[in-house]
Structure formats: structure tokens, C-alpha cells
Copies of this chain bind each other. A is one copy, B any other.
Amino acid sequence: MNMSDQGILVVVSGFSGAGKGTLIKAMVEKYHNYALSISATTRKPREGEEEGREYFFVTRDHFETMIKEEQLIEYAQYVNNYYGTPRQYVFQQMADGKDVILEIEIQGALKIKERFPDALLLFVMPPSADELKRRLVGRGTETMEVIDQRLHRAAEEAAGMTSYDYILINDKVDSCVEAMHQLIQAQHRKVSSNLDFIEQMKSELRAI
């Protein structure tokens, strides 16, 4: 008799500059019970992006067919482009016992929580707003105008944080990776993930 080996659906969101991409990459490299969901999008690939690695790049027609045929577990539109999570990969990996990581925006995260109440929603934060600004400036890749837009957006997104389950403060990458891994593994021990195990224990106890 064992605890549930069905995988967990994990949504990771966070302000731009909070470092969620780095964290997820480090966690997936260190532990082998994870599968990273890859989104489909109608936006054009940027330089260095590879089909099936960063995104599945599809046409608008193709994306709308995926919507109609319910091939996506959530989708949203940003700046005139669609982004969505293909269903089949996620469910296959979970059935195989993998915990599946979705790195998506708040809008999509809340849709996931509505449809899959057992999903685990994690929000990655910098230690402070000043530190967030320092990181965005430090990248050196964006104009001050874009940085201000991102900070403004962070302030808006902060309103949705209370719909998440846990917050992770990304102070040091290593310890934050550990904390994220432990939060996800804890989910496997939830009573609601183990109703079969509990039922079996009950009937064993009655039979003894």
C-alpha cells in the first residue's frame, strides 16, 4: 500500500524580475520527478528561441482550433497574442507520476485553480520592491521606460497574490529551490491526495 503516485499540477507565477525562470530551471535539473509544461503561443519566436523548448509556435488559426477542440487547459491573450497550456502533455505526465510545472501569468493561474482545485499555486517574490527594481535595472537589457512598466504591472499583479497557496521569497536561489521542491512534495501528503490510501487503511483495520 502506498501514498498516491499521481503527479501534482503546480502553477508558478511571479513578478517579472523575481527570478522564477531561473528557479524552475534549477529545480528541474536537480530533481527528476518534474515535467515542465510548454505553452503554445501565436507570437513569433524571438532570436535564440526554439520550437518546443520555449514555446510551441502556432498560427492563430491553429490556436483557435485548439481552443475549439478543448486541447488547452487554460489560455489567455496578452498584447494581441494567445498563450495557452496544451492539455495532453500535462495529463500524460501527471498520470506517469510526474509533478508538472506550469510557469504562467496570474490570469491563467486563477483559471487553473478554478478548474483544478487541487492544483498548487506558488507565487515567487523578490525580498523587497527595491530589490526587484535593482534586478530589473541590473539586467541592462531594458530601457527605464520598460522597467517602469514592469514595476507598474507588478503593483497591479500584487492584487492577485492572495489567490495563491504559498509565497516564495527568492533571496538565494539554492535555498529557494529547496523550499519550492519541499512545498511541492508536501502536497503529495495532503489528505485530499490520499483518499484511496485512507479508505484502504480503514477497510484493513475493519478486517483485522
- CB contacts under 8 Å to B, within A92-128, are 123, 125, 127-128
A164 interface residue (CB < 8 Å to B): yes
Q: Are A155 and B186 in contact (CB under 8 A)?
A: no
Size bracket of the A interface:
35 or more
Q: Are A208 and B129 in contact (CB under 8 A)?
A: yes
Q: Are B191 and A164 in contact (CB under 8 A)?
A: yes
Q: Are A197 and B167 in contact (CB under 8 A)?
A: yes
Digitize A141-173: 1 where CB-to-B-CB distance is under 8 Å, 0 elsewhere.
000000000010011001101101111110000
> In the bound complex, what is the Cα–Cα distance between A132 and B204 (angstroms)?
11
> In the bound complex, what is the Cα–Cα distance between A206 and B153 (angstroms)?
10
Q: Are B158 and A198 in contact (CB under 8 A)?
A: yes
Residues in chain B near residue A165, CB distance under 8 A: 190-191
Interface of A is mostly: helix
A167 contact from B133, B159, B194, B206, Cβ within 8 A: B194
Given A130-B208, A208-B133, do A202 and B167 touch, yes or no (CB 8 Å)? Answer: no
Q: Are A204 and B129 in contact (CB under 8 A)?
A: yes
Q: Are A191 and B166 in contact (CB under 8 A)?
A: yes
27 contacts between A and B (CB under 8 A): A1-B127, A3-B167, A3-B169, A123-B191, A125-B201, A128-B201, A129-B204, A129-B205, A129-B208, A130-B204, A132-B205, A151-B208, A158-B202, A158-B205, A162-B195, A162-B198, A164-B191, A165-B190, A166-B189, A166-B191, A167-B189, A167-B194, A179-B189, A182-B182, A182-B185, A182-B186, A183-B186
When A and B form their complex, which 7 residue pairs have the shortest distance between CB atoms, in order from nearest?
A: A129-B204, A155-B205, A158-B202, A166-B189, A182-B182, A129-B205, A186-B186
